[in-house]
Structure 1
C-alpha cells in the first residue's frame, strides 16, 4: 500500500522454508518450475512465507506455497493463508463505488462535494475534484491524510480521517498529473459510506465480498480471518528484522483488506469472466471495460497509466490489469491478462518484498502462457553473490555531473545506492554479468566498464571520494529521527542538501524554502509536498510536520559530546563480586597460544582512551584495573598497519577497548537491561574481546589531537551505532567509512551493531581469556 517496491535483505531460519505440496491437478513442468523459483527466492530473500495461485477461465490452474508461521508452525503457506493485501484493497473499494454508479446513485464526474459538502481541502486551482479523479489518482490531493495516515496507529474513524484533509492544500492541479494518493481513496470510501448509509466495511462485506463468495476476506479482521493470519515482519536499511505492527488504518478503503489467495482466485476468475462471479454478475461488462481504460493522457512514474482503480500496463505485449499492495509486514501482487484469460495472485509476510513478488508473478504468467501455447518455458535467471575480486574492482563512488551513486559492500553483499532511490542489492549471474536482484527489484539494466557504470541508461564515471564539507550550521538542529518505532523518519545531510529517508528505505533530497520548511522533489512518494520543522518554547525542534502529519522528534542514544549511559540492572560492585567468583565457559578444541601485546607499540599514531578504566563509560564507573590495551600479536600488527595507512590521511587511531577479561563481559551482560542486549556479549559464549582479537576504536585528527565526530557515540545503545545507519552528515558517514575501509584492508570486520567494533579474522583461533591486565606478560 505504501509503496510498490522496497529493498534490503533479511536472514530467516531455514526451518521456515518447508515446502507446501502443490494443490492443483496439473503438476506439470511449468508449475514445478514456479515452485522451484519460490523456494529459491524465499531462501535468498529471507521470505518467511509465500503463497501463489494461478487462474484461467476454468478456475484455479495451480497454487503453491513455501514456509510456515514462526509462532504456529502448523499454519503453512497455502491458498487458505490470510494476508493483509494492502493497496489491492483499492480495487474492491472502487468496484463497490461503480455498483452505485450503475444504479445512478453516484456520478463519477460531478464535484465530490456533491456527496461530501464538508470536504474542503484548499484548492487554489479552481478545478473541482471528482470521483473519477480520485479513483485514477489524478485529484492533486496529498498522498496521506493528516489523521489516520499510513503512519498513524490510532485508527481513527473514516469520517475523522477524511475531515483532516481540510487542513491540506492540493499539491498540483486536478487532472494534470497522475500521482498515487491513499488519501484520495479514503475520500472515495467515505463517499460510499455516506451514500450507502452504512459503515464502509459493512458496505463492502454485503455488496461485494459475499456476492463474490470471498468468505475468508474482510476489511475488519474477525476471529475467523485472524486464525489463518501469520506473524509478519519489517526490515530496515541494514537487514535487521522486527515484528510488524498490526494496527488498523484510518485510510481503510485504501489498504486494510485481509484475503486469502483462494479468495483472490475467485475475484480474478470473475474479472476474466467480465463481471460474472460465482453467485451471479457482480459488475456489468461495460463498467469493467471502463475501469480498464486509461483515464486521461497523463501517465504515472514508470510509464504506467491508471484506469479506474486498476493499473494498466502490458506484459510481453499483452494487456495487463493489476494492482500491488504493501502494508506493514506484507507484500502482494495481483495481475490479470484479460485477453489471455489468465491471472496470478501472490503474497508474502515480509515487508518491502514487492519487487520479488512482482517478478515471480510475471514469470508465473509467462509460464502459464507458454504451456497453453505449447511453447518452451521462459528462462528464469538465478543469481549468486558477486565475487570478492569483482567487489574490489567495482566498489566506489561514481558521478554524472552533480548526481552521484555509490557501490559498496554491506556485510556479505554488494549494493548500489542512488540519490532519490533505494539501496539495491547487486548479484552476479552465471555468465558473469552483474544485475540488480533483491526484494525491491530485479533489473539487468546495469553495465560496468573500465572506470564507469551505466545504470538505467545513465552513465556514471568513477570519482574520487573526497572529504565532504561540513553541514550548514543552520541545518544541524533538524538532523535526527522523527516518528514512531514502526515507521521512522530520518533527517540527514547528504551532498550539501538536507535529506529525508521516509518509509524505511526511500531517500529524498529536500529543497530549503526557509523558516524551517523544506520541499520534497517533484517525483517519488511525496512529490512537491512540504515538511516543516517546528520549535518549542525552548527554541528546540520537537516535530516535523508533513502536510499535517506530525512526526515527533525521537530521543536517540546520548547527547552529542556526552558519554552514553544506562541505569544498571544491579549495583556494579555487587555484579563485580559475582563475576570475579564465576568461571569462563568451557571450550572444546585446539587453540593458539595466547600472545597478548600492548597495541601502542605498533604505531606512533595509536593512542588510548580506555573508557572502562574511568567513569566515562556506559556504566558510569571503572571496571578495569588500569588503562591498558592488549591484543593478540597478529591482530596488533594488523592494527599497526591500519594506523600507518590512516596516518597518510591525517588521522590516528584512538583505542577505547581491546582485550577484555571475561569477568568484565559478565558484568556488562548482567548490568544491561534486555533492550540493550544486542550491544553486549553473552558471557556464556565469551566475546571476541575476551579472545584478544577485537578492538573498539575511532579516529582522531593528527593536527588537533581531537577525536573525530561520528554519527553516534561510543557504546551508544541505539541504531546510531549500526555501521550503516543512514543518519547524520555526509562528513560523519565519510569518516565512519574511512575507518571501516582502513580496518577492512587489514583483515578486520566491522560488527553489525557497532561502527567502532572490529574483529580480527582469526579470532576463532584463540580461547576465552580472563587474565587481569597486570598479570599479562607478553612473550618475546
Structure 2
C-alpha cells in the first residue's frame, strides 16, 4: 500500500488546484458597506480566504486517502453560523476514474448515529418524560441482567459509556441489503444472562449496547418506532431529506456505492441494523445542519441547557485522571468534549467518530464558534478521518482569522535513562487487555511491550526517565503505573500518534490491567490445555453478513497463558467456563465477553458475545468428487468445511436457494469469494482454505467440482 508523507510540496500542489484570489483584491457589491477588522481585512476577504484554505486542505486530505490509503469515496462539508461555507466530494468509479460526489449522496455514518439517539433522549428529558438520572428500569421495566447492579443503571450512564456493560452484541447487525431487526429484538434477552464488568458509573468505557438500550427507551417513552421518532422529531423540522435508517423507505441508489478488489461491480447496500448505535445514513451537509441541534441553536428541538449538558466532561466523573490532550474524553454521546489540538488554541471542540464495515465518519463541532465539519469516507481505513477533519477545520479557522497560525507537528528525542527506584519491580506480573494477556517484567529500569494501537505505537523498550514515567525509544510514548481508587492497577499510555499524510493525534488512556494470581485445579487446567491453539468458527451469523469479510470477528482461537489460569484474557473458573475480568477504563476495555463451552452430539461449541462457535475438530474436508450436496440443519447453523488437497485448485459452482450463500477463504484466512456480495456462484477453491455455507434450515446446496 502506498503511504504518503505530509510534505510542503504536497500541500503546495493541492493549493495550486484551488482558485486563490489575487493578493489584495477587494470584493464588494455596488453600494454596499464592507466591514473591516482592526487590521483592515474585510470580513468578505476573511470568508474567501477561509474557504480557499479549507478547500485546498480538503482536496489534499481526500486525495491522500484515495491515492495512499485505498478509500473509494470522500464527502465533506463545513457549516459556519448557519451557512454552508464548504462542500465537496470525490470518488472512484468502477473503472478507477475519479469523479465528483454530489452533496445529496448518502453515506453510512456509523457511530455518529449515537448523537441522534442521545439528542432524542435529551429531547424527551426536555419534555419532562425522561429523567436521565433515574433508573433505566423506570422506562424499560423488562430490562434485567444476571447482576443486581443493573438496577443502578441510568440513561446518563448509557450516554457516557459508564453503565458497565461488556460492550457490544454484533450478531446479525451488519447485513447486505437486509434490514433484519433481530439484533434489536433480542438485545434484552441477551443481556438477561450477562453480568456487569464494573460498578455502574465507576468509569467510562465504550459500549454500543448502551445506545441500543437508548433506542429502546425512545421507543417505549415516545410510543413510536425509533425510525418514526427521528423522521418526525428531527428530520422533518430540520428539513433533512437524506437522513434515514435502514427501516426507512427511500431510494437506495442515493447511498454511495462501494467497490472492493476482487469483486466485480458495486457491493450490495450495507445495512447497519443497530440503529441507535450506528445505523443512520446521511450526507455531510445534513450532518452539519444537525450540529445546530447539538449546540442549542434549535431550541424548539433541543434546549440550550441540554446541549450544554451533553458537552460536559462526563468521563472525569469516574475512575480516570485529568491528563493531557486526548482523543477520548466522553461527554453525553460525544467521544471527546475537549478534542486536541483545538484545546491548544483555547477552542473547545466536541467530536464523534463512526465506522461501519464499509464507511467511516468524523464529526467535529466548535460550539462557541458555531462551526462544524463532517468528513465521510467509503472504503480504506477508519484511522484518519478525525485527523483529516481537524486539518481542514484548522485551515478554515486560520483563514477566518480565528487562529493566527497552525502549529507545527511536535518533535521528539530519544529518552535519557535514569536509575529506577526498586519499588517499581513489584509491578512485574501478568496484565491483560481485551482478548489477551501478557507477562510484563520491570527490570533494570526497562520494560518491553509489544506494539499497540494496531502498530501506530511500535514494539519497543521503555526506559525509566524519572517522575514515575517510562519513555519509549520513539520518544513520544510514555507509560506509567496507576493504582486507582477501585483497587486496580493499570498501565497508562500517553502518546502522540503519527499518521503519515495527516499529522499527529494525542492519546492518553489505560492500556493494561494487572491481574491477580489464578490457579485452577489441575483437572480443570488439563481440560483447557486440550483447547489451547484450537480455533472455533461462528455458526449463527447470517450468510449475508459483512462480518464474513472480517474472519477474525467470526472465529476465536483459544490461547492459554501457561500457568496463569487465564485464557484469551478471561479467568478460567470451571472446565467449561471462563469469565471476563476486564476493568479497563476509557477505550481498551470494550467488547469483552465470557467463554462458555458445551457439547452436543459429541461436538464442542463455544458461546461468547451472542455468537455460537463450532470447534475446528468438527470441520471436515469438503467432498472432492464431481458432485455433492450440503444441507443446512434444523438449527439453521452454517456449515464449515476444509478445502483439502483433492479439492484445492478445482472450480466450484454451487446451485442454491436465493436465501443462501457461501464464503471461501484462502489458507491465510483471506476471503476470496462472498457469493452474496459478488452475485457469483463460482470460485476456484484454494488448497488449505475454508468454505462456509449458510441459509435457512433445510436449504440444499448442489455442488459441482471441475478441474480447470
From 341, 366, 371, the counterpart of 2:399: 371
1:46 Cα deviation (Å)? 0.4
CA contact (8 A) 2:361 2:375 kept: yes
Q: Secondary structure at the match of 1:305?
A: coil
Q: Is 1:256 aligned with 2:279? A: yes
Which aligned pairs between 1:41-190 and structure 2 lie closer than 5 A?
A: 41-70=65-94, 76-125=100-149, 128-145=152-169, 154-156=180-182, 158-190=184-216
RMSD: 5.1
Output the CA distance in 1 between the equivalents of 2:264 and 2:375.
22
Output the CA distance in 2 between the equivalents of 1:205 and 1:544.
37
Q: Which runs of 5+ in 2 are unaligned?
A: 5-13, 20-46, 411-427, 439-447, 459-473, 477-495, 513-525, 542-547, 629-642, 655-663, 673-685, 690-708
Q: 1:73 to 1:569 in 2, by over 3 A?
A: farther
Output the CA distance in 1 between the equivalents of 2:232 and 2:307.
20
From 553, 575, 598, the counterpart of 1:515: 575
Output the CA distance in 2 between the equivalents of 1:253 and 1:160.
14
Q: 1:618 to 1:438 in 2, by over 3 A?
A: farther
Deviations 1:657-709 (A, max 9, x none): xxxxxxxxxxx86x42269xxxxxxxxxxxxxxxxxxxxxxxxxxxxxxxxxx
Q: Is 1:332 aligned with 2:364? A: no
From 200, 203, 206, the counterpart of 2:229: 203
State the match for 2:444 in structure 1: none
Which aligned pairs between 1:265-284 and structure 2 lie closer than 5 A?
A: 265-271=288-294, 274-276=296-298, 281-284=300-303
How many residues are paired up? 512
Output the CA distance in 2 between the equivalents of 1:246 and 1:508.
34
Output the CA distance in 2 between the equivalents of 1:103 and 1:250.
28
From 296, 310, 317, the counterpart of 1:297: 317
Q: 1:82 to 1:140 in 2, by over 3 A?
A: same
State the match for 2:699 in structure 1: none
1:231 Cα deviation (Å)? 2.8
Q: Is 1:350 aligned with 2:379? A: yes
CA contact (8 A) 1:99 1:283 kept: yes
Q: 1:475 to 1:165 in 2, by over 3 A?
A: same
State the match for 1:313 in structure 2: 338
Deviations 1:614-641 (A, max 9, x none): xx97237xxxxxxxxxxxxxxxxxxxxx
Q: 1:456 to 1:298 in 2, by over 3 A?
A: closer
From 315, 336, 360, the counterpart of 2:388: 360
State the match for 2:667 in structure 1: 720
1:59 Cα deviation (Å)? 1.6
1:150 Cα deviation (Å)? 6.2
CA contact (8 A) 2:577 2:597 kept: no
Output the CA distance in 1 between the equivalents of 2:240 and 2:173.
27
CA contact (8 A) 1:532 1:544 kept: yes
Output the CA distance in 2 between the equivalents of 1:545 and 1:440.
39
Q: 1:518 to 1:530 in 2, by over 3 A?
A: farther
Deviations 1:469-504 (A, max 9, x none): x997422474243364245333336684799xxxxx
Q: Is 1:673 aligned with 2:652? A: yes
Output the CA distance in 1 between the equivalents of 2:118 and 2:110.
14
Output the CA distance in 2 between the equivalents of 1:457 and 1:122.
28
Q: Secondary structure at the match of 2:395?
A: helix
State the match for 1:491 in structure 2: 556
Output the CA distance in 2 between the equivalents of 1:537 and 1:457.
38
Output the CA distance in 1 between the equivalents of 2:264 and 2:455.
17
Higher RCO by CA contacts (8 Å cutoff, separation 6 or greater): 2
Q: Which runs of 5+ in 1 are unaligned?
A: 1-7, 12-17, 382-399, 407-415, 427-431, 447-454, 459-469, 500-506, 571-615, 621-667, 676-716, 726-752, 757-780
Deviations 1:119-169 (A, max 9, x none): 112333375211111122111223224876569974227454334422322
1:246 Cα deviation (Å)? 4.5
1:78 Cα deviation (Å)? 3.9
